[in-house]
């Protein structure tokens, strides 16, 4: 059953006039009549009762009209869905992210994407950087939001979209709390709350190298896995901590944020995708990230 013949049949059935139906279909009347007869022969049923004055549907024609309309609507809908998916307006994106990325433009990027492409389903999964890089390569996620520091990014596309400085958080009553900034060298005698080496070995080693260049080995009194824990323990007076400057927007009572000066590892956050096999929806996401960068 050809789609074209269904369209011809519906036009005649709705107009009940071969001439008007032919005009609606932008064809001449004789070929239309021939195609309808061909369709009836194919089905083995008469669809119309014809005489010189009128055209009427048979019982078979009445039954087919409902189904034909539903079939044509379904085909139009399938075509629309196909074109929307090809343009990235429909589909599904699984996005990995590191927790600190939520303090960047990422929430606004997601909001813009959802507003522009409301029919794309968005799945968010919080994952570490190394885990995300592997998941992007294997296709478990479409894109990742990561902090790169000497990671292997072979066969991946990387797009830098966030950079920021570090800050030192000190208890509110600390002697440094009245300062405008703190230099790396001034941390030599301070009890330090830091992330454990097991979390980010290359990054940890780079911080140790920078401390050594400043002429000291840090006095690490506590290791913590999250920035919120670092704030809480700083507020409790256990020591001072180094955190991304953006965390100042979530400062808790009892701590002071001070910009950190000196040489230390860059804090850069990237969006990563595969170099090929990128879905149209993911490409649209990357365009929004580029505009926000």
Number of C-alpha atoms within 13 angstroms, CB side, residue 98?
25
| Same domain as 149, residue 82 | no
| Same domain as 177, residue 101 | yes
Angle between helices 106-116 and 280-292 (to 10 degrees): 130
* pLDDT tens-place string over residues 72-106: 888 877 776 676 566 667 788 999 999 889 888 99
**Per-residue b or e along 37-71, where b marks 16 or more CB atoms closer than 10 Å to that residue's CB:** eebbeeeeeebbeeeeeebebeeebeebbeebeee
pTM check: above 0.75 = no
β pairing state of 156-164 and 267-274: antiparallel
| Same domain as 164, residue 109 | yes
| Same domain as 30, residue 120 | no
| Same domain as 184, residue 44 | no
Q: What is the span of the domain harbouring residue 204?
A: 92-293
In this prediction, residue 81 carries a pLDDT of 66
d(CA 182, CA 277): 46
CATH number at residue 182: 3.40.190.290
* pLDDT tens-place string over residues 23-56: 999 999 999 999 999 999 999 999 999 888 889 9
Q: What is the mean pLDDT of residues 195-223?
A: 92
| Same domain as 291, residue 174 | yes
| Same domain as 167, residue 280 | yes
67, 86, 105 - which closes a domain = 86
- For residues 232, 238, 243, 249, the Cα torsion angle rounded to the nearest 10 degrees is 40
* Domain count of the fold of the chain: 2
């Amino acid at each position: 059953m050809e789609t074209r013949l269904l369209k011809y049949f519906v036009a005649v059935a709705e107009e009940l006039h071969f001439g008007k139906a032919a005009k609606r279909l932008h064809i001449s009347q004789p070929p239309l009549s021939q195609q309808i007869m061909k369709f009836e022969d194919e089905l083995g049923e008469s669809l119309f009762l014809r005489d010189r004055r009128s055209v009427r549907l048979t019982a078979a024609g009445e039954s087919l009209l409902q189904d034909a309309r539903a079939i044509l609507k379904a085909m139009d809908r399938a075509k629309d869905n196909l074109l929307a998916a090809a343009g990235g307006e429909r589909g599904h994106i699984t996005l990995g992210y590191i927790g600190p990325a939520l303090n960047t433009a990422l929430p606004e990027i997601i909001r813009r994407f959802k507003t522009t492409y409301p029919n794309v389903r968005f799945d968010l999964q919080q994952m570490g950087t190394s885990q995300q890089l592997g998941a992007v390569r294997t296709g478990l996620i479409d894109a990742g939001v990561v902090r790169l520091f000497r990671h292997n990014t072979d066969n991946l596309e990387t797009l830098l979209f966030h950079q920021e400085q570090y800050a030192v958080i000190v208890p509110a009553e600390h002697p440094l709390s009245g300062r405008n900034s703190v230099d790396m060298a001034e941390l030599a005698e301070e009890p330090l709350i830091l992330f454990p080496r097991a979390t980010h070995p290359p990054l940890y080693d780079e911080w140790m190298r920078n401390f050594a260049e400043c002429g000291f080995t840090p006095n690490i009194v506590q290791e913590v896995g999250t920035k919120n824990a670092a704030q809480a323990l700083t507020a409790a007076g256990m020591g001072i901590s180094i955190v991304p400057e953006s965390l100042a927007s979530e400062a808790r009572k009892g701590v002071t944020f001070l910009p950190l000066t000196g040489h230390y590892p860059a804090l850069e956050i990237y969006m990563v995708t595969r170099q090929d096999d990128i879905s149209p929806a993911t490409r649209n996401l990357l365009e929004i990230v580029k505009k926000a960068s």
